[in-house]
Homo-oligomer: A and B are copies of this chain.
Amino acid sequence: MSLVVVGSVAYDGIETPHGKRERILGGACTYIALSASYFTRTGIVAVVGDDFAEEDRKWLIEKGIDLAGLEKAPGKTFFWSGVYSDDMNDRTTLRTDLNVFADFDPKLPSEYKLRPYLFLGNIQPELQRRVQQQMNGVRFVGGDTMNYWINGTRDELLAAIRHWDFLLINDSEARMLSGEQNLRRAAKAILDMGPNTLVIKRGEHGAMLFRNDTLFMVPGYLLEDVFDPTGAGDCFAGGFVGYLAERGFDLRNGHFDVHELHRAVIYGSVMGSFCCERFGAERFRDLTRQEIDQRFEEFRKFTAF
């Protein structure tokens, strides 16, 4: 079942203790779509400038990603650069040039409007809301957000997520959004805001899924080398929603298997872990579905008792 992803496509400059890249393809929408593309047909809604490289467009198309919603605007593509600390737990942003992304006004191609799965990447909540309104017959919709919108446009954010099935954020964002330090209480408060499913990402410490009818927790995959954590959370999102789209998971028919949501969290964790093994999205150049399924089984093995 096909998926629509909305968000940023960007170029990133990244420096980690393992090396440096001046300008590589990045942006939340890119990572989410690359990750989801292993599971389901994925169309993106994003904007790039006229400096967007033909080879990057080709790569996305080769991965089966539908670019009908990739708008090209006069100007430059969103550029971000940052440097990671030695232990990779902190990063410092060096530059954020929004460029054409500053005026991003997502337009859904008509062929996207009937697609059943929608992931709203981290953009202005009012835009997220308007995109969802354009969709017809969505079965499963959700998205991401960040501290900037939680603090700056709280009302718009609450208006947007009220109609989502799931919200996928990290632990500090969950605490900020709920005003609760304890994650169990934070989750309760957030589930009262609209989404029936909350996924809290905790980076190397794994992830948790909360619903009124289930709680699921998974530890982080233990990599021997974390090369570059950029995009790992977005790849988690892509694996999570991509797997559910592949399975035709339908929250609205009332007969779903809650364990599918658990397995989606595992696939999210698997995709996030692969992302960290190379710079940017480079791991997806040769990653195979077989490797993904193998790591899924590894998760099963190292959490079984």
Give A residues with C-beta under 8 Å from B.
86-87, 181-185, 202, 205-206, 208, 214-219, 222-226, 259, 262-263, 265-266, 300, 302-305
Contacts and interface: CB of A to CB of B under 8 A. Distances in A.
Contacts of A262: 304-305
A302 B214 CA distance: 8
Nearest to A209: B302
Contacts of A263: 305
16 contacts: A86-B181, A87-B181, A182-B226, A205-B205, A206-B219, A214-B302, A216-B305, A218-B219, A219-B219, A259-B304, A259-B305, A262-B305, A263-B305, A265-B305, A300-B305, A303-B303
A219 B217 contact: yes
A208 B221 CA distance: 11
Contact of A183 (B218, B222, B265, B300): B222
A216 B87 contact: no
Contacts of A305: 216, 218, 259, 262-263, 265-266, 300
